[in-house]
Structure 1
Amino acid sequence: MRKADEIEQLALETLSKHQMVTPGQKILVGVSGGADSVALLHLLHQNRETLEIELAIGHVHHGIRGKEADDEADFVRHLAEDLQIPLYVTRENVPAEKKRLHLSTQEAARLVRHTFLRTTARQIGAERIAIAHTQTDRIETILLRILRGTGTAGLEGFPAVDLPLIRPLYAIRREETEVYCRQWKLRICEDSSNLSLAYRRNILRLELLPYLRDTFNVEIDTALLRLAEIAKQEADYLDGVTLNLIGEVVERKMPNLWTLNGAALRRQHRALQRRLVRHALLGVLGQTQNISFELLEYILEQADKRQGGSITFKAFRNLAGYLTYEEGTDTLVVGQHLPEDIAPPWSVTLKAPGITLLPDGRQVEITLYTEKGTTRLSQNVEHRDIQQGNLSLPYATAFAIPNEAVQLPLVVREWRAGDKMSPRGMHGTKKLQDLFTDAKIRGRERSTYPLLVDEGGEGKVWAVFGLRLAADVISLEEEKRLQEMPNRIEIRIETKTLL
């Protein structure tokens, strides 16, 4: 077992090897109060001058475990005060999110935690989020994925760096963080839920892995890590080959509609075919979490036989995807639409300033700029409401609207017959139905292009996400024009679901 100084040195080597931080960066450290996160915070604080980094702490009270969670929040608050590190806290209602989004308790907790950390990092200017995942967590993740069924990409478990996330404890075992805390005499909080067999990960940690070590392979941890490294290297190679084929096989027709050339697809090895289809699915849906092996095989077999066929599937939460092979054009079509059980009318009121979390795990962030300064979420936030609604934003965008032109609140809703807008780059107004027709967006596909509407004013349509911006709207990439608009509302829509 390594000693505290050896553990610290290994963490520093991991930071350097994976180029996790650079001098001058601000790092938001996720701290729960357990041994892993306390050890992570302590070793980063000990080396902050050497690394030339600035630290901040983020803590989430999940609204579960009652007094125990209250005590953890108090503990982290005192820890931040002792170390004189800025603290950002939120209190969430995980049971409500679990019910609303049809998630497990752990999935809902992870969603609100990652949403808060990513949002806070952006708002305080932290370029990295340090989380306390250990080598032990990685081993458990690999085994869980094997048991559930995974491809080679899933065998990695999780990477050391997934920007903005960094994992400085990537090579350190959980029991070593406990040793580190004991030797430094650091106080920690014990999460009683870690001993509950109600959670599959705990069953694996407390019962299955010990059984496998005792019965099959005392070095199973090493074997799983070796498998992960081999799988990662081979997946990296295949991903590189796949990217070189994108231009030949895949075409992005619209944000929500990609196609694959059937003849070019058939020329590739099956392993590359699956990766090419997954690439298109990722582009359309933002993730491929629920895309099964059987689903991919079905549509590839249709392409092999050159027989028309289509399959619709629930991609995640409130968004459905579809794969269609069109025999006449020898084309594989990847698209999305809202499921039939989500019927209009619907709308989601956006918090301004602040974050509105959508049911599929994506988020909309609004920041208010004036000549006097910027209005964002404040430090030491004790509670942040999560808005409700039945919406998945299909396409990322970031833009600004003049303050004086908007009457809050802003609402995201479905398009309706008669909706009009004044599109940027066009003269006058145009019916959205005509815009959809011109873009060859048909039927239910139109439901995946939601509108940003000024409900506080005259109901002006400011954007059709993934399709058009209104004339007064400017992209956040237009830096010169942004400087000429000191009083503005900036809106960012995440492209990737956090679920």
Structure 2
Amino acid sequence: MDILNRLSTFIKQHALFDSGERILLAVSGGRDSVLMVHLFNESGLSFGIAHCNFGLRGVESEKDEQFTSDLAAELEVPFYSTTFDTTQYSQEHHISIQMAARDLRYQWLEEIRVDFGFQYIAVAQHQNDVMETMLLNLTRGTGIAGMHGILPKKGKIIRPLLFLKRDEIDQALEEKGYTYREDSSNESTKYARNKLRLEVIPVLKELNPSLEETFEANRKRFEELEILLDARVKELKSDLFKEVNSGEYEISLQALKALHPADTLLYGLFHPFGFTEAVLRDFKRAWDGEPGKIFCSNSYDLCLDRDKVILAKKKKEIEGAVYINSPDTDVAWNGKSYRGESKTLEQFTLKKENALAQLDFGLLKFPLTLRHWNDGDRFHPLGLKGTKKLSDFFIEQKVPLSRKNDIGILENGNGDILWVAGFRIDERYKISTNTKKVFIFEQTT
């Protein structure tokens, strides 16, 4: 089967794109991307060419850009180019030159794709690139996703040359007489990928001359294993994650302890929320200890709470106290709204609701304070004989540790707690036969 038929078969097999869709080709001017351009052109596909000048090789970079511009003009297809200060970007973001170039490239390509109506971005990676990526990932440490390397299609990125080996690309270029640009940096072993390609892989090929085919077969196995694992993780998440609030889940600790294999499934469950393997190892080591420990990702907190685990989006910075200077007022605190109102005893009807505080106005000392709970807080819960630490009260009420800071504490001007919002008022400030005026305070949103 000739190379054009193989390309067509590969595109259909992996559903890379539909006939008639416009594809933006990422073209460096090197052998791989130049062959991709000519194959798309000979196949009658609709495409444009995009070129990134990373400004890393001086005159060579300028010549690469001119070459790709001339190629686009020769084929009469749209051409887009840009120049980056890659070194400055890498320094500002504290990443390697290679990572900086990759980030800049894909960000810009996506902008061009959207702005000019292309459906996909095609990059010219081939089977040897997959093999090198798998070896790099294995050397650095990886999971199943890293072991299947580069996929033919991921989101809006497609890789239509993954059916080719490097020597097949070289052969096709020679047979067709296509010219391309040589990148001198490809021969430098200071880059890890080049070191693998130039020094390690030749030794491995002595052991297995069919190394590319072997790695391609391995890639497919790992890809299928990832599909199975993803299905298992999706099933577990559906069973274990009980959403109690928007962005907040309760998970049975006992169920997590029963997972097998634990490390792999824990990572599958919590990695989408930003948790690293190192953090999850610490979490696993701590789950038989005292409750209350919190483990963090950039956007979520994972809190051990007695017999369950609370997974919750990070709260915004905790808001300080607000002061209530007069009885008839509206206040906002911690993203919620509260309303205060005073009534004569004749205007008032007692409601048996914990959602509002109904207090003896004559015992209050303004300004009142609405705040978060503090360690060491005590109050006298309505209906009990003595005082109780607020932390113990929360435990008895089964308040998740992650939600304590959401609960408003209404404090009198003399320092006594008047109301634990949504739970209980203080016995000492309840309405009695001596009450002449009532203060009502409730959360309205």
> What band does the TM-score fall into relative to the shorter chain?
0.5 to 0.7
Once the two structures are TM-superposed, the CA of residue 88 in structure 1 deviates from its matched residue by 1.4
Once the two structures are TM-superposed, the CA of residue 330 in structure 1 deviates from its matched residue by 1.5
1:245-287 CA distance string (max 9 Å, x none): 222222566787655432332343225x6445444432x34xx
Residue 335 of structure 2 aligns to a residue whose secondary structure is helix
1:311-330 CA distance string (max 9 Å, x none): 767x6xxxx36653413251
Tell which has more relative contact order, 1 or 2 (C-alpha 8 A, sep 6+): 1
Letter paired with 1:106? Q
**Contact residue 127 and residue 212 of structure 2 kept, 8 A:** no
Asked if 1:32 corresponds to 2:10, the answer is no
Q: Mapping of 1:83-162 within 5 angstroms?
A: 83-162=75-154
**Contact residue 25 and residue 54 of structure 1 kept, 8 A:** yes
Residue 22 of structure 1 aligns to a residue whose secondary structure is coil
Which position in structure 1 is the counterpart of 2:208?
217
Which position in structure 2 is the counterpart of 1:69?
61
2:285 corresponds, among 301, 312, 323, to 301
Cα distance between partner residues in 2 of 1:253 and 1:281 = 20
Cα distance between partner residues in 2 of 1:193 and 1:311 = 46
Cα distance between partner residues in 1 of 2:162 and 2:216 = 11
Structure 1: gaps of 5 or more residues: 339-413, 419-428, 444-499
1:247 corresponds, among 238, 248, 265, to 238
Which position in structure 2 is the counterpart of 1:434?
335
1:172 corresponds, among 158, 164, 168, to 164
Cα distance between partner residues in 2 of 1:255 and 1:42 = 51
1:447-474 CA distance string (max 9 Å, x none): xxxxxxxxxxxxxxxxxxxxxxxxxxxx
> Identity across aligned pairs (percent)?
26
Once the two structures are TM-superposed, the CA of residue 234 in structure 1 deviates from its matched residue by 1.6
Once the two structures are TM-superposed, the CA of residue 73 in structure 1 deviates from its matched residue by 0.6
Letter paired with 2:226? A
Residue 193 of structure 2 aligns to a residue whose secondary structure is helix
Once the two structures are TM-superposed, the CA of residue 241 in structure 1 deviates from its matched residue by 1.8
Which position in structure 1 is the counterpart of 2:344?
none
Asked if 1:281 corresponds to 2:282, the answer is no
Which position in structure 2 is the counterpart of 1:326?
304
Letter paired with 1:187? T
Letter paired with 1:223? T
Which position in structure 1 is the counterpart of 2:259?
268
Letter paired with 1:32? S
Cα distance between partner residues in 1 of 2:404 and 2:191 = 43
The 1:76–1:324 alpha-carbon spacing in structure 2 relative to 1, beyond 3 Å, is: same
Letter paired with 1:298? D
Which position in structure 2 is the counterpart of 1:484?
none
Which position in structure 1 is the counterpart of 2:40?
44
**Contact residue 249 and residue 311 of structure 2 kept, 8 A:** yes
The 1:56–1:149 alpha-carbon spacing in structure 2 relative to 1, beyond 3 Å, is: same
Which position in structure 1 is the counterpart of 2:10?
14
**Contact residue 130 and residue 168 of structure 1 kept, 8 A:** yes
**Contact residue 152 and residue 231 of structure 1 kept, 8 A:** yes
Which position in structure 1 is the counterpart of 2:376?
none
Once the two structures are TM-superposed, the CA of residue 204 in structure 1 deviates from its matched residue by 0.5
Cα distance between partner residues in 1 of 2:16 and 2:30 = 23
1:208 corresponds, among 181, 200, 210, to 200
Cα distance between partner residues in 2 of 1:145 and 1:334 = 31
Residue 95 of structure 1 aligns to a residue whose secondary structure is helix
Max Rg structure: 2
Letter paired with 1:434? G
The 1:153–1:334 alpha-carbon spacing in structure 2 relative to 1, beyond 3 Å, is: farther
Cα distance between partner residues in 1 of 2:320 and 2:118 = 43
Residue 178 of structure 2 aligns to a residue whose secondary structure is coil
Cα distance between partner residues in 2 of 1:251 and 1:94 = 45
**Contact residue 165 and residue 212 of structure 2 kept, 8 A:** no
**Contact residue 56 and residue 87 of structure 1 kept, 8 A:** yes
Aligned length: 335
The 1:75–1:240 alpha-carbon spacing in structure 2 relative to 1, beyond 3 Å, is: same
Asked if 1:230 corresponds to 2:221, the answer is yes
**Contact residue 25 and residue 122 of structure 2 kept, 8 A:** yes
Cα distance between partner residues in 2 of 1:129 and 1:255 = 35
Once the two structures are TM-superposed, the CA of residue 158 in structure 1 deviates from its matched residue by 1.4
**Contact residue 156 and residue 228 of structure 1 kept, 8 A:** yes
Letter paired with 1:327? D
Cα distance between partner residues in 1 of 2:141 and 2:59 = 38
Which position in structure 1 is the counterpart of 2:382?
none
Letter paired with 1:14? F
Residue 72 of structure 2 aligns to a residue whose secondary structure is helix
Cα distance between partner residues in 1 of 2:170 and 2:333 = 59
CA RMSD of aligned residues (A): 3.2
Letter paired with 1:231? F
Q: Mapping of 1:433-472 within 5 angstroms?
A: 433-434=334-335
The 1:188–1:257 alpha-carbon spacing in structure 2 relative to 1, beyond 3 Å, is: farther
**Contact residue 7 and residue 176 of structure 1 kept, 8 A:** no
1:43-85 CA distance string (max 9 Å, x none): 111112xxxx421111111121111111111111111111111
Cα distance between partner residues in 2 of 1:88 and 1:308 = 57
Residue 333 of structure 1 aligns to a residue whose secondary structure is strand
**Contact residue 50 and residue 81 of structure 2 kept, 8 A:** yes
Letter paired with 1:326? L
Cα distance between partner residues in 2 of 1:80 and 1:442 = 62
**Contact residue 250 and residue 276 of structure 1 kept, 8 A:** no
**Contact residue 89 and residue 100 of structure 2 kept, 8 A:** yes
Residue 126 of structure 1 aligns to a residue whose secondary structure is coil
Cα distance between partner residues in 2 of 1:435 and 1:68 = 60
The 1:105–1:267 alpha-carbon spacing in structure 2 relative to 1, beyond 3 Å, is: same
**Contact residue 295 and residue 303 of structure 2 kept, 8 A:** no
The 1:336–1:109 alpha-carbon spacing in structure 2 relative to 1, beyond 3 Å, is: farther
Once the two structures are TM-superposed, the CA of residue 16 in structure 1 deviates from its matched residue by 1.0
**Contact residue 12 and residue 168 of structure 1 kept, 8 A:** no
